[in-house]
């Protein structure tokens, strides 16, 4: 599989010590979260990924080609945000995710990675809105906020639940590489895109990253956002001959 990352703003990328990614998955929580981060913080594209694992779709946004896999950042923030407008083809997801993980490890500036996903809201058994799945190195990190680490340990993903897709592959690869990374899985509706479910994740990222992303738009425009995401996904799912929303697991 071909895989190449084109760096468009190396200076901004060099100052990023945290990597954030939100994949399509249950409730589209990851995709909604990173999309809203990029829009609300007015991040700029700093890198793109060219891969033979990308479905053959592009679009135009803000007078610029929007490619399947893009990375965003801004000089006033210390994180890079990866947004996959499309999922890589299923048969190359393992290889694609491993190459993404290798790239993260090769960046000397990255010290943490955060992966956003969802877990079925019907499984919720406590007041906490997020379950966590950390790597060993994340739990052993001495640079992270101790209160957040305590919260993570108290709200680990329930035993017996499975995480699937690129998020799972990347977390597994980074765990074996002893790199600090964590999955934030917000409770979400299984049958549809869930903008309201993404609010919990954004609020937690605000706290952990010391930023201020406004969630009012997600709350006020939840139905519009849901319909727009369905519209974007429809031709892609049709081209792959399957209804991905019914086949996804927890990320």
Tens of pLDDT, residue by residue over 145-199, are: 889 999 999 999 988 888 889 999 999 999 999 999 999 999 988 777 888 888 9
Give the mean pLDDT of 27-42. Answer: 93
Give the mean pLDDT of 75-102. Answer: 94
Residue ranges making up the domain that contains 105: 9-247
Per-position DSSP letters for the chain, written without gaps between them: --EEEEES-HHHHHT--EEEEE-S-GGGHHHHHHHHHHHHTT-EEEEEEEETTS-S--EEETTEEE-SEEEEE-TT-SEEEEEESSPPPGGGHHHHHHHHHHHHHH-TT--EEEEEEEEEGGG--SS--EEEEE-HHHHH-SSS-HHHHHHHHHTBPPTT----SHHHHHHHHHHHTT--EEEEEEEE-SSS--HHHHHHHHHHHHHHHT-----HHHHHTHHHHHHHHHHHHHHHHHHTTS-HHHH----
Asked if residue 34 belongs to a domain, the reply is yes
Asked if residue 36 belongs to a domain, the reply is yes
Asked if residue 233 belongs to a domain, the reply is yes
Asked if residue 222 belongs to a domain, the reply is yes
Q: Is the model's pLDDT at 247 over the cut of 50?
A: no
Asked if residue 154 belongs to a domain, the reply is yes
- Quickly state the pLDDT bin for 249 (edges 50, 70, 90): very low
CATH of the domain at 203: 3.40.50.10900
pLDDT of residue 237: 57
Asked if residue 94 belongs to a domain, the reply is yes
The total number of structural domains in the chain stands at 1
Give the mean pLDDT of 243-247. Answer: 43
Asked if residue 1 belongs to a domain, the reply is no
pLDDT of residue 236: 53
Asked if residue 237 belongs to a domain, the reply is yes
Indicate whether this model's pTM tops 0.75.
yes
């Amino acid at each position: 599989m071909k895989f190449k990352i084109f760096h468009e703003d190396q200076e901004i990328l060099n100052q990023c010590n945290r990597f954030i990614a939100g994949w399509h998955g249950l409730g589209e929580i990851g995709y909604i979260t990173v999309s809203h981060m990029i829009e609300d913080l007015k991040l700029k594209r700093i890198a793109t990924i060219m891969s033979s694992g990308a479905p053959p779709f592009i679009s135009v946004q803000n007078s610029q080609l929007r490619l399947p896999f893009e990375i965003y950042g801004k000089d006033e923030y210390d994180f890079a945000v990866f947004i996959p407008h499309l999922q890589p083809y299923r048969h190359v997801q393992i290889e694609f995710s491993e190459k993404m993980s290798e790239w993260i490890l090769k960046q000397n500036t990255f010290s943490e990675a955060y992966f956003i996903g969802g877990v079925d809201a019907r499984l919720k058994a406590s007041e906490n809105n997020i379950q966590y799945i950390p790597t060993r190195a994340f739990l052993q990190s001495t640079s992270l906020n101790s209160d957040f680490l305590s919260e993570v340990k108290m709200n680990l993903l329930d035993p017996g639940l499975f995480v699937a897709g690129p998020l799972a592959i990347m977390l597994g690869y980074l765990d074996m590489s002893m790199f600090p990374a964590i999955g934030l899985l917000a409770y979400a509706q299984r049958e549809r895109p869930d903008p309201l479910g993404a609010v919990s994740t954004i609020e937690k990222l605000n706290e952990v990253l010391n930023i201020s992303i406004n969630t009012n738009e997600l709350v006020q425009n939840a139905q519009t956002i849901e319909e727009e995401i369905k519209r974007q996904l429809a031709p892609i799912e049709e081209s792959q001959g399957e209804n991905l929303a019914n086949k996804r697991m927890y990320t």
